Structure 1
Amino acid sequence: MKITIVAVGKLKEKFWAAACDEYLKRLRPYAKVSVAEISDVDPARAGGVDAAREREGTGILAAVPEGARVILMDIEGKQRSSEGFSRHMDELALRGESELVFVIGGSDGVSDAVRARADEAFSFGPITLPHNLARVVLLEQIYRAFKISRGEPYHK
């Protein structure tokens, strides 16, 4: 399986990058996982929040390979337990979904075009996470999903 995380914004602090790198390393035996960072756009320089979202959305959509299943990380998305997320990943694989793209939008959300392209939305719950932390949590949950699926120790 090939998994890409498309995230708006760059990891500026070393500890965020180190955490992401650790999970990317742990994921190597299970799937080809990569991160595509999209530059965040300052609304003041873009002509407003909507214009900034549109420009970020163009970058997001350009990073999505044709035919990939797009899962938008969204507070309004479906919530799943770690076990439920693992089962869902297995179901996607069984259906032949070999390329997944998880999208983490910018601080002002994502454009309508990105929402329209998403095949589903997933939520970590009603809490608000900083985008850097959301990236780490997503990588950790993907790793946990593979460990659960294979019955390997880790998730308890």
Structure 2
Amino acid sequence: MKISTIWPGKTRNRHLKDLEDDYLNRVNRFNRVERVALRESRETDAVRRTAAETIGFLNHLSTGDDPILVDEGGKRMTSREFANFIEKKLTYGSHDPLFMVGGENGFGTEIREKGFESISLSPMTLTHEWARCLLLEQLYRAFTIIRNIRYQR
């Protein structure tokens, strides 16, 4: 089973992009993890931009996906709980986990109304680029926990 991460636009901050690449390479040693950057909307109005991003997210979904929103209002978990969450998805799930990280304005109503599972990386508000890195780091950490491999804390 593969895990996918999807978000609007490419990471512009080169330091965060390098960190993203590093964790993506690390986690791919354990499980196939795909990163998808949707075409970024050029809309300047926040509402129209979020609507355009929503269309991009929904158009990307397939019947084989298990969408999981990464959202500040989602379920909070410790790293161990997240590792258990991932292990259950990969062991018992029938669909591929698809982690969706919203753009700078979050998710549109149409996505929120779908009732997708939602997780939080922190009770604090994170920039969407930082949330991407943190998600990949937590995926890597989850696999080190699952495989009982020491990981520097």
TM-score, normalised to structure 2, is: 0.90
CA deviation profile, 1:50-102 (whole Å, cap 9, x unmatched)? 22211111111222232211110111100000000001111122223451110
1:150 correspondence with 2:150: no
Equivalent residues in 2 for 1:70-149, closer than 5 Å? 70-117=67-114, 119-149=116-146
CA deviation profile, 1:110-135 (whole Å, cap 9, x unmatched)? 12222234531000222011111110
5+ residue gaps in structure 1? none
Range that drifts further, 35-44 or 64-73: 35-44
5+ residue gaps in structure 2? none
The aligned residue for residue 2 of structure 1 is 2
TM-score, normalised to structure 1, is: 0.89
1:9, distance to aligned residue in structure 2 (A):
2.5
Contact 1:75 1:126 in 2 (8 A): yes
Corresponding letter in the other structure for 1:77: G
SS in 2 for 1:10: coil
CA distance in 1, matches of 2:114, 2:18: 31
Range that drifts further, 74-83 or 87-96: 87-96
Percentage identity across aligned positions?
30
Decide whether aligned partners of structure 1 residues 135 and 35 sit closer, same or farther in structure 2, where only a CA change above 3 A counts.
same
1:155, distance to aligned residue in structure 2 (A):
5.5
CA distance in 1, matches of 2:145, 2:6: 24
Contact 2:64 2:95 in 1 (8 A): no
CA distance in 1, matches of 2:68, 2:89: 11
Contact 1:2 1:98 in 2 (8 A): no
Contact 1:2 1:32 in 2 (8 A): yes
SS in 2 for 1:20: helix
Range that drifts further, 11-20 or 137-146: 11-20
Contact 1:6 1:104 in 2 (8 A): yes
Equivalent residues in 2 for 1:10-29, closer than 5 Å? 10-29=10-29
Corresponding letter in the other structure for 1:12: R
CA distance in 2, matches of 1:88, 1:103: 16
Give the 4+ runs in structure 1 shifted more than 3 A: none
Aligned length: 153
